[in-house]
Copies of this chain bind each other. A is one copy, B any other.
Amino acid sequence: MGIVSRKEREKEEMRQLILGAALKLFREKGYDGVSIRNIAEAIEYSPATIYLYYKDKSEIFFALQYEAAAVKRDHIMPVVEIENPWERLVEFGRRYIDFGMKHPDLYDLLFITLTPMESMENQECWKLGIATHSFFVETVQACVDARYFKSTDTETIAYTLWCHAHGLVSLFVRERMRMYPEEKREELARKSFAMIVKMAENL
């Protein structure tokens, strides 16, 4: 273990230090509410130092987006163990929504925040998201193959279910449920999930 490897390790530690501080601050104040100077202050370095590890603010954002995608994967992926495709699909939906409710900031990062155009090239993150999405579509396909639905339009079924789940979470995350009393919102979300499952049963 030479000096170069120690240097690399230290460099990686510094990147994690920056990312950790950034995530904490982004959670509290949102992407636009946090400045490079804030992050620098949190880790007790000068603002210019940040630029030695990340080329600009958006690159910090993308690094976090990647981590968010990983958290989401870990939150949802246990469902691969479920062999029955219908049960797997329902549990996938439940966990997708649960992830969004438990990590609104990460969900926001992944599915709501408008990202600069470079995000396309951010292959690491994109690949992770595509993988989870593909698994979801494959599960729907498995349901179709097993004749769980009358319809055989896998793509539209998957998209429709995703629309519901995403709509549910994002109305929550972006606080568009103020017409419902706070303590009823989660219950309403649960009931709605149960309802879409019932609707999907005779789809």
Interface residues of A (CB under 8 A from B): 30, 32, 111-114, 120, 130, 133, 151, 153, 155-157, 159-160, 162-168, 170-171, 174-176, 178-179, 188, 191-192, 195-196, 198-200, 202-203
Contact = CB atoms under 8 A, between A and B. Distances in A.
A151 B195 contact: yes
A26 to B, nearest CB: 13
A160 B112 contact: no
Given A112-B112, A156-B191, A170-B170, 5 more contacts: A32-B32, A151-B195, A159-B191, A160-B164, A162-B167
Contacts of A32: 32
B188 A159 contact: yes
Contacts of A133: 179
Contacts of A163: 163-165, 167-168, 171, 192, 196
Contact of A111 (B159, B160, B174): B174
A112 B156 contact: no
13 contacts: A156-B188, A159-B192, A162-B167, A163-B164, A163-B165, A163-B171, A163-B192, A163-B196, A165-B167, A166-B170, A166-B176, A199-B200, A199-B203
